[in-house]
Chains A and B, each alone.
Chain A
């Protein structure tokens, strides 16, 4: 045993009312009569490491209280420290990022760590004397001189319950480690046990404290870690003061710790239980109490509690519940009452503090206390006695994985909140940045600042503040309010408090809040290039991008189009000509389309160094003098030049103004304002006669091979296979017009389109100005909304854009939606009732499937399963598992082949059962409530897989995987699937062009040709997965 009294732990010589060791063992906190909470470094009192830098001893001084700090208590998770004070409030402190600050004017050195008050609990009408966190940290109990116990919800900081029943000052509260009760002790000489289930009084005990005389600051009672004993303070049994021990259930006094010569103020059980070392078995004749464990197995193996008792007689005693005599008595340590005690997390060090303003540490040896039970052993013990606590206490965290998930969730919510703070800060920072203040004053200020800086450099105390100060002049905005008062908008200095958190948790989110203009679609596409390249190793790559010197201009165009909007107008019932789409083009387009267009194509076959092939289109409006007959009218002509590293490969001229260009190593396509479309071969031959689309091409896109997508101003959508000279798809965007409720109601059938391109899976993908994204499903022959803003409250709406943003197509769309939503005024986060999150995940799952984005599908599936697991939604989980498990292999053979076809063992190229085994089932393990389901499917899966390996693989492949041919790779699967399944890099130079479309009453949507071969399996699979 080593005892020490660190003299440097002090509160300006005033009383120290409370001490508590952080459960992770890194720090301890003290609260004192100087109104301060101090946080100290545990390393400085470690029994081995004494020679720590003295500056590192005191980590922080918290000056938020306006009265003596009576109690400091760490939460079990070590993150918060709560303090109760004579000023009637409870402060919750948390360590914030960054270095500590100094109190201005205090003359003290800056803190080592940056601890800040994060919550203030107001409600008591007198001094707060004792505090205790609930076992799961979700609640805090506080006892006060106002005769009440308050229960605080620590998520909201609100007082949930006030326990009234004591007739005098409440001077001690403690929480049952099982979570079922709270005990409080009062100057009315009673102890009350409160039920936590309904906050009713379970028992009131009196008598044992009736004879005690004198008054003490505290009556800090304690509950044993096993939950069986409640040791109270301030008892009296002639002729000695005692600590009566109540037994759980009966709540009657089982025995007393007897011997102190003055009232007992504080008792503290060791956080863990102990057992005898095997060597000390000679101590079999212990008398006393054995914790109610009636299990046989020898007394030696029985575990016991260790308790420390502090008294007004200035001594500390340490007892075990296995012995009638104290293990240890510490006399002459203190000059006044011992008022608080705390055990270190390892159980071998005891911290005590006294009204004389000092603290003491006593380090014990395993030989003295015994061997500490591990946490699992303690859990087992509790379980054997109280049953599975988890089952009864829904609030308790059920397992570590659960806890992890929860923290992940709260993190997300936290970042969101802080992110919006940042946004606010940005908003405030901006105007102040643009402020002008008289330059003269500015100058003099700078000079002055230099002066003051010089003057204070020697002053170490102000050093930190100098560091904080930027040497630039203060950018503040000063103006007069209408009422004549002067108002200053201050300059934000340095990093806002919470921005560091964001940097840790998700940089991606912060980007969301950047003004949308920097993330205009055009530039966003550029950013995607490298990822796409690295993702795919197919031999030919096609890239369309802008010439560096044109870039600036095209960016401007992109911006202009965002604000001026691409408009497809649909005005119903205005004209008599049925089914005719009228076209109007807004001014914005004409301006933007008059710029030169340029695209580049990289041929990756020739290696990365090969210079790109560029296709440029220059409007030549004035070069028309030579034209004979038509020269009276102004004819527009466009010159098209194809270049490779400055050398012209070919050139051509076409009539009219070119609006769109597209190209890949196989062909070039040029769309004109007059609705014509010219397709060139690689070398510039006109491959086909001019195609007439009826209205100007506004969006064009092509894939790596031969597929070309075109959207006209009328809203018609075409997809051709130029190799086969066949139309793959002809549809209209008109169905999107009506589907967009928001806009059609406000602007009378107006729809703004940002981009149309071929998705990676080869289907047309339309993004509207609302950032809703639609995918045309070639099997269902209709538009699917794959990204929208329907789930703002979903917990997962943010998780997407964290890591997956750059790589996933769906995530990209989602990010766009969120960016857009964040700009909207009045957009608020609504709290989720669970329904939205589920619906959101389900739709995400279906969308990622539709977009054929296997990574995102897997990610989303995982999130969905985790969510269902947490909600213990067994029926949905079962359906998901069943869909991934499929019919039993053995039965498949026996049953009719039709039935078999309906189940595809692959989803997006990944084997479903593999997903089930590697992802779904492990995710389900996080909640024990669904463990039966989990076991069931584990059994089934292993059974099926056994059967599978027993079967000849060839036979199975032929029956089950019709279309896929049993090939587990996405690309291969796609390749074998002709209609819309080619991998593409969807880019156009001009996907930001405004378009307007006016439509008459009856809008006819004609699909010229049904898409080629339907993939029955995929369709089935889609419907099944979206339903599950």
Chain B
């Protein structure tokens, strides 16, 4: 059982210019009080092929974690374009919102992000040098892909470390993700932790 369930994530300020900060209003429900804070991270996947281009945009602690329904706004700076390969800026990539407890990630929400010029002319004839100020960022907020991982929220009062021997996690969303620009596999490639097992 997960002590924390995300009830909603509202992507605020979307679509927005590439250089504007991210804002997510996250609502969650807590079924058991936890001693430690939750850690929420927002990760921008710079390149589908290479994990080293991932940018950790923000990491916040949220607490105290008591029983009830809560919400907060997670605000994060935009990714640093200088750390993204020029050819990867325009196009579809992924934004990951993760939640961990005591260093164990138990929830991951993936969003497809489409970066493109707002100006039609620029879109059709993209300049050789990316005009970052003109790039519009669009998060596909209605297609979140949620993956849950079993962790032990109360390790101290359990008899065995069940979390370590846990079976591989599975994505809770069984729906087939639509093929967005031929990059539908990007999400399942991304998690550094055990590969989700489609069932």
Contacts and interface: CB of A to CB of B under 8 A. Distances in A.
Interface in A457-507: 459, 462, 465, 468-469, 474, 476, 478, 481, 485-498
A936 to B, nearest CB: 48
B199 A34 contact: yes
Interface stretch (B48-56, B88-96, B112-120, B140-148): B140-148
Contacts of A34: 174, 199
A827 interface: no
Contacts of A486: 58-61
Interface stretch (A102-110, A595-603, A818-826): A102-110
A63 interface: yes
B34 interface: no
A47 interface: no
B70 A492 contact: yes
A324 to B, nearest CB: 44
A977 interface: no
A452 B10 CA distance: 8
A705 to B, nearest CB: 54
Contacts of B173: 105-107
Given A101-B7, A452-B10, A492 B2 contact: no
Contacts of B13: 444, 448
Interface in A34-78: 34-35, 63-64, 66-67
A379 interface: no
B69 A496 contact: yes
B69 to A, nearest CB: 4
A104 B10 CA distance: 11
Contact of B71 (A116, A448, A491): A491
A122 interface: yes
Contact of B31 (A103, A105, A117, A123): A117
Interface residues of B, number: 61
B71 A493 contact: yes
Interface residues on A, range: 35 or more
A91 B37 CA distance: 24
B62 interface: yes
A543 interface: no
B199 A459 contact: no
B85 to A, nearest CB: 29
A117 to B, nearest CB: 4
B193 interface: no
Interface stretch (A81-89, A301-309, A510-518): A81-89
Contacts of B75: 441
Interface string B162-173: 100111011011
B10 A476 contact: no
B158 interface: yes
B112 to A, nearest CB: 13
Contact of B159 (A117, A159, A498): A159
Contacts of A123: 158-160
A86 B168 CA distance: 11
Contacts of A495: 69
A898 B58 CA distance: 88
Contacts of A425: 66-68
Given A105-B109, A445-B23, A462 B174 contact: no
B95 to A, nearest CB: 14
Nearest to B13: A448
A552 interface: no
Contacts of B29: 101, 497
Contacts of A87: 150, 166-167
Contact of B145 (A67, A105, A490, A498): A105
B34 to A, nearest CB: 12
B164 to A, nearest CB: 11
Interface in A518-571: none
A105 B167 contact: no
B67 A66 contact: no
B8 interface: yes
Given A87-B167, A104-B7, A125 B160 contact: yes
A880 to B, nearest CB: 42
Contact of B63 (A33, A489, A492): A489
A116 B199 contact: no
B5 interface: yes
Contacts of A86: 167
Contacts of B170: 35, 66
Interface string B25-40: 1011101010001000
A380 B2 CA distance: 45
A485 B71 contact: no
Contacts of A117: 1, 31
B152 interface: yes
A876 B37 CA distance: 51
Given A101-B29, A105-B109, A105-B146, A66 B167 contact: yes
Contacts of B166: 66, 87-88
A474 B25 contact: yes
A12 B64 CA distance: 37
Nearest to B173: A105
Given A64-B2, A91-B1, A469 B8 contact: yes
A465 B64 CA distance: 23
Nearest to A88: B162
B6 interface: yes
Interface string A420-440: 010011001000000000000
B102 interface: no
A490 B72 contact: yes
Contact of B64 (A14, A428, A494, A497): A428
Contacts of A498: 67
Contacts of B184: none
A492 B69 contact: yes
B160 A497 contact: no
Nearest to A102: B7
A102 B60 CA distance: 25
A485 B70 CA distance: 21
Contacts of B58: 486
A104 B67 contact: no
B181 interface: no
B9 interface: yes
A383 interface: no
A486 B60 CA distance: 5
Interface in B148-191: 148-150, 152, 158-160, 162, 165-167, 169-170, 172-175
B2 A445 contact: no
Contacts of A459: 142
A448 B139 CA distance: 14
A490 B71 contact: yes
B84 interface: no
Contacts of A35: 170, 199
A459 B10 CA distance: 13
Contact of A116 (B14, B31, B74, B175): B31
A390 interface: no
B130 interface: no
A469 B61 contact: no
Contacts of B59: 485-486
Contact of B12 (A122, A448, A478, A485): A448
Contacts of A496: 66-69
Interface of A: 12, 14, 33-35, 63-64, 66-67, 86-89, 91, 101-107, 116-120, 122-123, 125, 159, 421, 424-425, 428, 441, 444-445, 448-449, 452, 456, 459, 462, 465, 468-469, 474, 476, 478, 481, 485-498
Given A91-B1, A487-B61, A490-B71, 9 more contacts: A104-B144, A452-B14, A474-B25, A492-B68, A492-B70, A494-B69, A495-B69, A497-B31, A497-B68
For the complex of A and B, the 10 pairs showing the least CB-CB separation, nearest first, are A105-B146, A496-B68, A465-B8, A490-B70, A117-B1, A490-B72, A448-B12, A105-B144, A493-B69, A66-B150
19 contacts: A14-B199, A35-B199, A101-B7, A104-B146, A105-B144, A105-B146, A106-B172, A107-B173, A123-B159, A425-B67, A445-B23, A469-B25, A469-B71, A474-B71, A476-B71, A487-B61, A493-B69, A495-B69, A497-B68
